[in-house]
Amino acid sequence: MSAAHSRKQYLVVAGVLAALTLLEIGVVYLKISRAVIIALLVGMAVTKALAVAQYYMHLRSETKYLRMILGLPMLFPPFYAIVLMFEAAWHTVLYTAR
């Protein structure tokens, strides 16, 4: 891969990361439920982390096995965050119903 192509790719990824950051800021000001805002923010954060890992850490050119070893654990934090949101909502329902 040539240096110019590599530089262009890095700039495109940087632009995507900047756009996602602006979207994250915009999501906070939407008039939607807090749980949806948190889910959107977590999703965008995971997307940004995967983009950084693939392009800036050069995982895109690694073997499929290595990418899976590093990529599968990335699914657990957003899953855990969603579980915690449901648990918090459940406790809110339980304690406000009294």
pLDDT tens digit string along 70-97? 778 878 887 888 888 888 888 877 777 6
| Residues 70 and 63: beta-carbon distance below 8 Å | no
Report, as ranges of residue numbers, the positions in the chain whose pLDDT lies below 50. Answer: 1
Question: 69 to each of 32, 58, 64, 92, how far by Cα in Å?
Answer: 36, 15, 9, 37
Whether the model pTM is above 0.75: no
Q: Is the dihedral of CA 26, 28, 34, 37 positive or negative?
A: positive
Alpha-carbon gap, residue 50 to 33, rounded angstroms: 26
- The distance from CA 10 to its chain's CA centroid, rounded to whole angstroms, is 19
